[in-house]
Every structure is written in C-alpha cells, then in structure tokens.
Amino acid sequence: MFEKALVGSRKYWLWLAFLGVLILIGFLAFLAQLQYGLGITGMSRDVSWGFYVAQFTFLVGVAASGVMVVLPYYLHNHKVFGPVTVFGEFLAIAAVIMCLLFIIVDIGQTHRLFNVLLHPTPHSMLFYDMIVLNGYLALNVICGWAALHGEYKGVKYPRWVVPFIYLSIPWAFSIHTVTAFLYAGLPGRHFWLTAIMAPRFLASAFCSGPALLLIALLIAQKVSRFRVDPMAIDTLSKIITYALLANIFFFGCELFTAFYSNIPGHKASLIYLFRGLEGHAEWVIFMWMAWLLMAGAALLLVIPATRKNINTLVLACIMLFIGAWIDKGIGLLTGGFTPTPFETVTPYRPTVPELLISLGIWAVGFLIMTVLFKIAVAVKEARAA
Amino acid sequence: MDRRKFLKLAAISATLAGGVPGFFNREVKAKAYTPPPGALTARRWGMAIDIKKCWEHPECNDCIKACHYIHNVPHIPDRKREVKWIWKDEFEHVFPDKPNEFNNILLAHKPFLLLCNHCEHPPCVRVCPTQATFKREDGIVMMDYHRCIGCRFCMAACPFGARSFNWVDPRPYIEHFNPEFPTRMKGVVEKCLFCYERLEKGQIPACVEACKHKALIFGDLEDENSEISRLLRSRFSIRRKAELGTGPSVFYLIG
Ligand code: SF4
Ligand code: SF4
C-alpha cells in the first residue's frame, strides 16, 4: 500500500521537497540548540515554557479532534463519515508525532528523555501525558492502517480492530484532558488554575482540528478524483460551529469569573494579554486578533447561507484556525507565566532559531499528513475506478 | 563515594542481580538511608529570617556570597537567564498579596531574603516526571541533577520563583570555583538545597554560618526546644503565599 506514496505529480514532489528543505533547516537549528542549550530560545527564568510547549498544546488538540469524525461514524452510524474517518485518524497520527517532537526539542537534556520511562512517576501529569499520547498514536496507526488496508483489499475492516476503534474514542478525550491537567492544578498560576481548563481545551480542539481536516479534505478533493460527500462536509461544518461556540462561551465564563470576582491575581493575566500590564503590551494585538477572528468565524458559521457556501466556509475555517492557534499557542502560555510569581512582567518573544525549529516540526507534520493522505486518496481512487 | 552515587550503584547492581524485583525495590533503598555519624539531623528542617536585623545592615550580602561561592552558582549577568539560590528582592515582589496601600511605610521597598522554601507539600515534587526533584524525610526538597531532564515543569509549578534553569553552560560564569561541590551542566534545573552536604558533615548551612549578625536561624521545626521553634512561638512571623497550601519552611520574623 505504501507504494502509493511513491508515485505522484510534479506538484506533489515539489511540495514534499519544499517540506524537506524546511525540515533540514529546522534540524540544523536543533543541532545548534543541542550544542548551545535552550539559551538559544527566548525563554527565561520567569517564562520557562515558550513556543514549543505552546505548539505541543495546540497540536494535542488537533490530534484529539480526529475523534470528531470517528465518533459519529462508529457510535451513531453516521454513514457519510465512513470514507473520511481514515483521514481523521491520519491527521491524528501527524499531529501526535508533532507533539512528541515538540516535547523532545523542549527538553534541556534531550538524551535523558527516557528517564520518564525509567523512573515512572505516577504523581506527575507529564507521566500520564506520555502514556496517553503514545497510546493514542498507536491506536490511530492501528485503526487507520487496518481500515485503509481493508479498503485496499476490497473488504471491510477486520473485526479485531473494532475494540481498538472504540477505545480510541475516550482515549482522544483523555489526551487533551491530561494535557489540560498539566496546567490546571498548579498553585499560584491563576490563569491556568481553572476547572474548565480541560473543557476549554476540548472545545478549542474540536473546532480547530476539524477545520484543518475540512480544508485538507477539500484540497485532496481538488488534486484528485476522490470526492467527499457534501453531507460529510455539512456535518463537519456543524460540528465546527458548535465547538467554536462552546469555545467562545467558555472563554466568556473565564472573563466573568475573573472580572466579577475582581480578584487582582485572576484579572492580571487577562489584562496583560488584552490591554497590557506595566507597559508591556506585546501580545495585545495578537489576542484581539485571535478573538475577533474567532468571533467573525462564528458569525460566518452560524448563518446557514455562509456555512453552506464552500468559499465562506473555508474562510471561516481558516479564520478560526488562526484564532485558536494564537489563543492557545501564545495566549495560554504567556498569559499563565505573566505576571511572574513576583508580580512583575518578563516579556517573552520567540527567537529565530526557535521559530525555525518549530517550522521544521510543522513541516514534518505536513509531510506525514501529505504522504498518508496521498495513500488514502490513491486507495479510494483505485476503489472508485 | 557520595550518597547519590552510592544509591545509583546500588540500584544498578540490585537491578542486575535481582532483575525485576530489584527495580521495584529501588525506592525503598533510598528511604533506608542513614545519615553518617556526626551529621545534623532533624524531623523537619526550617529557617527563620530575622528581617529587622537584615535591614540594619542593608549593604551586607554575606549569606548570598557564601552560598553562591560554596555551591558554584554561576554569575550570569542576563536577568532572564540568571541562576540564583538565595537573593534579595523588595517586599512588594516577595509578598505580592500583602501590600497595604494605606499603611505600607513600614515595609515598602524593603529588601527580603529569598530562597527555596522547602515546602511541606512541594508542588515542584508533585509535577516532576523523573523524581529528579524529591523531598527527603527531614523536609529538604532535593535536586538530582543527573536525573533531571530539563522539562522545567517544576519551574511552572513553584509559586515562589525559587528555581533556576541552566539555559546555557554555567561553567564559564563561575567566578570563584569551589572544587568541593559539583558544577552543573546546561539543561538542568537547580536551587537551594539547605546545604544537605554540609549537614551531613555536622555543619550548619553556609548562609547561616556566614551571617555575622545572626539574622538567619536554622533548625528543627518539629523540635519544640530548638531555637527556631522558640523564636517562632515568641515572635510574629509571616510566610510567603501561605494561602497556596504548600507549607513553606522559611519564616520571616517581622515583629
Ligand atoms: S519553594 Fe518552590 S522549589 Fe522550593 S520546595 Fe517550594 S515549590 Fe519547590
Ligand atoms: S526540570 Fe528536572 S527537576 Fe524539574 S520537573 Fe523536569 S525533570 Fe524534574
């Protein structure tokens, strides 16, 4: 089946080559980081996690979102999702691998990574995160591959994968819940110390992940003879709509709690992010942009006419994806670290090597996604022919 | 051979000899450690800082100098990357929840001495995925630099900003090298360890010893006859962010 990835158009190979160059640049930057230390990044004593962990957090959401096509199909027998579940699973594979890579580059003593396995520590959330992420990766490889292989052979997926598919559903929720628990529950970090951290994570994941999946499906449709059932697009866009509305609602809950209680510590991070604190306003413009984009996308999605129109739908998906990415990728992290435990502000800005490494990892993700999608599309094309 | 090395060796040989059972036993061994004869011991080590005495000598930094020299703490000028075990900051930053806008004459901008609080319920220990940060039975929150993977989870969890990370190789920044204490490498976290290595030899912590004004008092919080316990009973003291429930073992005598 893999041979399907080895034949492709010029465009396909150019795209892969382009990603390859980005990966190479990222890898070289990573070697420099290994040599010099994490001092090559913009992180500091006060903002000790940065872009890497933020990307990780966001991508766990993208990975978890695969369940939004798997669940309706297997639990509710929503037939139109049948042909796209495998794409959801493949998206999850690419996203989880990116997550793991982001963790690897974020660790100061990379070669000691396996200490997490050698000294299992059941009171650390990171321990569970490692288990659920790797487990989820395995589940998606098994389910996705088995389903596609069945299709390749022209048979239904083998029976033995069914339990794995059912297991993968709660598992998807677990990966983002455990990732939220990395943040929630830390004393003195008011911005993270919220019981709706996990629900917020899931809501933002279940809109941004399917949005990416939808765009990817439309691209796949454009470059091949593979066709997505318009009904599947319709359901997917409704899922995105409700998840986005939930995401906005949850954020409103956070705002209410912080500002109605009027407790300085709870307000400080939000003020820093949206208005600036002590003369530091580096993220204000980004944060406003993020929420305006998400609000705009919500509007486009709620109105049936614009949701049903492919152009405005894609626009809304892009808007909300960027919005959710800024909100989780930047806001969540820096907001949690600001103000510092000393009620001061230490601004964080990612450096060029840091961004290059991140770009390299994203390129790895897109490469995996392209190849897997290519295989899936080719198999489906062969079936249809 | 120091304790950690010994434990590691013991663990490795136990694992080799006993296979899987040895693997599970390892933690038990670490707890069965007995301090060498002559060591200072306590049920819960704590420190009281007589802040008024400190203020009488604002120029005095003897405790900081002694600690940072003895432990090879690098002097990194970049504030974002600095490494510090014990340092001074002003009241508003140390007790951000306490300022009183109508009556802060007494404490406004006054310097306070900061170090790891060796919390009773340390969140840094709770989150560490490798047990590189662990709490001893005598209350000292320890760091194993050889096990730390540099995930910096403990830094996010410590509400006191007590931990430093080696963003770069610290060795070139060590001003006066002390061969008796190990240096660190890039990519690990470090902090004050209540001079566990000195206690083992029957010595009090370096900062306490260095303070000629006797502003630092170190002792057993669970021994009611210790000097620190008597002081805490007779004078008014505050702790940093006590409302977070971490149970700091560092007390500031202000009354
Ligand atoms: S002060 Fe911070 S580093 Fe020290 S024990 Fe408490 S939580 Fe851990
Ligand atoms: S940085 Fe080191 S000590 Fe801190 S939590 Fe990670 S492994 Fe533990």
Of B156, B169, B185, which is closest to A189 when you measure between CB atoms?
B156
Flag the least confident range among A51-55, A227-231, B86-90: A227-231
Nearest CA in chain B to A129: B129
User: Does residue B102 carry a pLDDT above 80?
Assistant: no
Mean pLDDT to the nearest integer, B174-200: 96
DSSP track, A82-131: HHHHHHHHHHHHHHHHHHHHHHHHH-SSGGGTTHHHHS--TT-HHHHHHH
- Distance, in Å, from the CA atom of B87 to the CA atom of A143, rounded to the nearest integer, reads 55
Q: Which residues, including other chains, have CB under 8 Å from residue B169's CB and lie 6 or more apart?
A: A37, B185, B186
Peptide linkage before A339 cis (omega within 30 of 0): yes
pLDDT at residue B23, rounded to an integer? 40
User: Does residue A247 carry a pLDDT above 50?
Assistant: yes
B186-196 residue pLDDT tens: 999 999 999 99
Site of tokens 């409700």:
A242
Find out whether A64 and A175 touch, Cβ atoms under 8 Å: yes
Find out whether A201 and A54 touch, Cβ atoms under 8 Å: no
Question: Which residues approach ligand 1 with their CB closer than 6 A?
Answer: B 116-119, 122-124, 141, 158, 160, 162-163, 191, 246
- Which has more pLDDT, A384 or B227? B227
Sign of CA dihedral B213, B217, B218, B219: positive
Distance of alpha carbon B211 from the chain centroid: 17
Return the structure tokens found at A202: 């899931």
- Residue B129 sits at the chain A interface (C-beta within 8 Å): yes
- Distance, in Å, from the CA atom of B252 to the CA atom of A7, rounded to the nearest integer, reads 71
pLDDT at residue B235, rounded to an integer? 96
CA B192 to centroid of ligand 1, rounded, Å: 9
- The average confidence (pLDDT) of chain B is 88
C-alpha triplet A305, A306, A308: angle, nearest 5°:
70
Instruction: Indicate which atom in ligand 2 lies nearest the CA of residue B124.
Output: 5
Site of tokens 């088995």:
A146
- Distance, in Å, from the CA atom of A255 to the CA atom of A235, rounded to the nearest integer, reads 30
Residue B32 phi/psi, 5-degree rounding, is -80, 10
- Distance, in Å, from the CA atom of A143 to the CA atom of A66, rounded to the nearest integer, reads 12
Q: Helix (H, G, I), strand (E, B), or coil: what is residue A76?
A: helix
Mean pLDDT to the nearest integer, A114-119: 90
- Distance, in Å, from the CA atom of A330 to the CA atom of A356, rounded to the nearest integer, reads 17
Of B93, B157, B168, which is closest to A36 when you measure between CB atoms?
B168
Find out whether A339 and A277 touch, Cβ atoms under 8 Å: yes
Which protein residue has the closest C-alpha to ligand 2 atom 4?
Answer: B154
DSSP track, chain B: --HHHHHHHHHHHHHHHHSHHHHHHHHHHHHT--PPTT----SSEEEEEEHHHHHH-TT--HHHHHHHHHTT------TTT---SEEEEEHHHHSTT---TTS-TTTTT-EEEEE----SS-HHHHH-TTSSEEE-TTS-EEE-TTT-----HHHHH-TT---EE-SS--GGG-SS--TTS----TT-EE---TTHHHHTTT---HHHHH-TT--EEEEETT-TTSHHHHHHHHS-EE-TTGGGS---SEEEE--
Find out whether A227 and A221 touch, Cβ atoms under 8 Å: yes
- Residue B11 sits at the chain A interface (C-beta within 8 Å): no
User: Does residue B179 carry a pLDDT above 90?
Assistant: yes
B4-62 residue pLDDT tens: 555 555 555 544 444 443 343 334 334 456 778 889 999 999 999 999 999 999 999 99
- The average confidence (pLDDT) of chain A is 92
Report the relative pairing of strands B141-143 and B45-50 from DSSP bridges: unpaired
Q: Does residue B148's CB lie within 6 angstroms of at least one atom of ligand 2?
A: yes
Give, rounded to a whole angstrom, the gap between the first and last alpha carbons of chain A: 17
Inspect the interface and report whether the beta carbons of A108 and B92 lie closer than 8 Å: no
Return the structure tokens found at A132: 């659920």
- Distance, in Å, from the CA atom of A316 to the CA atom of A240, rounded to the nearest integer, reads 10
B164-175 residue pLDDT tens: 999 999 999 999
User: Does residue B96 carry a pLDDT above 60?
Assistant: yes
- Residue B229 sits at the chain A interface (C-beta within 8 Å): no
Which protein residue has the closest C-alpha to ligand 1 atom 6?
Answer: B119
CA B213 to centroid of ligand 2, rounded, Å: 36
Whole-Å CA distances, A1 to A4, A6, A76, A244, A306: 6, 10, 30, 37, 39
Flag the least confident range among A114-123, A237-246, B246-255: A114-123
Mean pLDDT to the nearest integer, B197-221: 96
User: Residue A277 gets which letter from DSSP?
Assistant: B
Sign of CA dihedral A233, A235, A238, A243: negative
For residue A128, count CB atoms less than 10 angstroms from its CB and return exposed for 0-12, middle for 13-18, buried for 19 or more. buried
Q: Which residues, including other chains, have CB under 8 Å from residue B80's CB and lie 6 or more apart?
A: A44, A45, A46, A346
Find out whether A321 and A208 touch, Cβ atoms under 8 Å: yes
Find out whether B118 and B141 touch, Cβ atoms under 8 Å: yes
Q: Provide the H-helix boundaries in chain A.
A: 10-36, 51-64, 67-76, 82-106, 115-118, 125-153, 161-183, 197-223, 230-261, 264-274, 284-302, 304-308, 310-326, 332-337, 352-384
Inspect the interface and report whether the beta carbons of A126 and B168 lie closer than 8 Å: no
User: Does residue B1 carry a pLDDT above 60?
Assistant: no
pLDDT at residue B22, rounded to an integer? 38
Residue A350 phi/psi, 5-degree rounding, is -60, 145
- Residue B160 sits at the chain A interface (C-beta within 8 Å): yes
- Which has more pLDDT, B226 or A155? B226
CA A205 to centroid of ligand 1, rounded, Å: 33
Inspect the interface and report whether the beta carbons of A187 and B123 lie closer than 8 Å: yes
Residue B111 phi/psi, 5-degree rounding, is -75, 145
C-alpha triplet B109, B112, B115: angle, nearest 5°:
145
Sign of CA dihedral A111, A117, A123, A127: positive
Return the structure tokens found at A86: 């495998």
Inspect the interface and report whether the beta carbons of B94 and A108 lie closer than 8 Å: no
pLDDT at residue B15, rounded to an integer? 47
Q: Does residue B195's CB lie within 6 angstroms of at least one atom of ligand 2?
A: no
Q: Mutual orientation of helices A230-261 and A264-274 as an angle, nearest 10°?
A: 130
- Distance, in Å, from the CA atom of A356 to the CA atom of A362, rounded to the nearest integer, reads 10
Sign of CA dihedral A276, A281, A285, A290: negative
CA B127 to centroid of ligand 1, rounded, Å: 11
Q: How many CB atoms lie within 10 A of CB A260?
A: 9
User: Residue A156 gets which letter from DSSP?
Assistant: P
Q: What is the pTM of this model?
A: 0.91
**In terms of C-beta distances under 8 Å and separation of at least 24 residues, what long-range contacts does B100-107 make, across chains too?**
B107/B254
pLDDT at residue B20, rounded to an integer? 42
Sign of CA dihedral A122, A125, A127, A128: positive
- Which has more pLDDT, B146 or B16? B146
